Amino acid sequence: MRIGIYNNETAESQRVTKVLKTEMKRAGLTYVEKDPEVVITIGGDGTLLSAFHHYQKELNNIRFVGIHTGHLGFYTDWRSFEIDDLVDSLVKDSGQAVSYPLLDMKATYSDGQTENYIALNESTIRNVTRTMVCDVFINNHLFENFRGDGLCISTPTGSTAYNKSVGGAIVDPNSVGFQLAEMASLNNRVFRTLGSPIIFGADAELILRLRDENGHVLTCDRDQWMLKSEKERYLTELSYKVSKQRIYFAQYRHNNFWNRVKDSFIGGVH
């Protein structure tokens, strides 16, 4: 089995990486820099997000394992002091995995060109210079005219990230779909939106048609673009649907999602 390592630059992550490589070599495991079958991330959820996008074209052939060297993460199952147990699990690996859905996003510009992205957590669109105005279509039918700060479109696993901060629902990751949550929508006698998160099924398509040419900030997980009108080329439309790809985690002891939610947001029983 070919094992890759992807770590952040903190001193602790560097130390853990060195220890892991030593223990893997002692156990007869193969460390590779290209074409890994398992990728071990060392850091936190941000590190795993970076690794996910780094290996985006190889997702069908990779299983991820996360070691957290800081605060408890939603994608990181192992602690830095559990290297021996992890290496033992790698030695006994039989291909076991758990997978979660991803989000496909297509951006369309005024010149007809398109760009495609994939998100593990979420994509957001905001206007930082004025109220964002867009038409929201669900399965090609106009649903509402949105006015507000912006919109957040998230995966089930990403529902505990930025989506939760803007009032979205937490979704069981065994569900296949995605979610739309509003950011400070305008609701009065003139303008009206649903005002609640919307959870879509596996076959739904969400389309956002933007009315303004300038001031938009588009994100996909940790990547961000400030979109400016240049030579009459500007963002006109975003479409979202469940990706045909999925992310796979090596299921040595993949922790229960709802235990993670409880530990992260509720804590001990009072």
Our answer to whether residue 172 is catalytic in this structure is no
Determine if residue 221 is labeled as part of a ligand binding site: no
Determine if residue 160 is labeled as part of a ligand binding site: yes
| 228: three-class secondary structure by DSSP | coil
107: Cβ contacts below 8 Å, ≥ 6 apart: 114, 115, 116, 117, 218, 235, 237, 238
Can you tell me the distance from the alpha carbon of 102 to that of 104, in angstroms, rounded to the nearest whole number? 7
Single out the catalytic residue among 45, 77, 104, 221: 45
Quick one: which of 206, 182, 207, 208 has its CA closest to 195? 182
Determine if residue 27 is labeled as part of a ligand binding site: no
Determine if residue 45 is labeled as part of a ligand binding site: yes
Determine if residue 161 is labeled as part of a ligand binding site: yes
Determine if residue 112 is labeled as part of a ligand binding site: no
Can you tell me the distance from the alpha carbon of 169 to that of 163, in angstroms, rounded to the nearest whole number? 8
Determine if residue 162 is labeled as part of a ligand binding site: yes
Instruction: Read off the tokens for 73.
Output: 């993460």
40: Cβ contacts below 8 Å, ≥ 6 apart: 3, 4, 5, 6, 20, 64, 65, 66, 67, 86
Can you tell me the distance from the alpha carbon of 219 to that of 126, in angstroms, rounded to the nearest whole number? 9
Determine if residue 149 is labeled as part of a ligand binding site: yes
Determine if residue 21 is labeled as part of a ligand binding site: no
Residue list for the binding site for NAD(+): 45-46, 121-122, 147, 149, 160-165, 184
Q: Which residues are catalytic?
A: 45
Binding residues: 45-46, 121-122, 147, 149, 160-165, 184
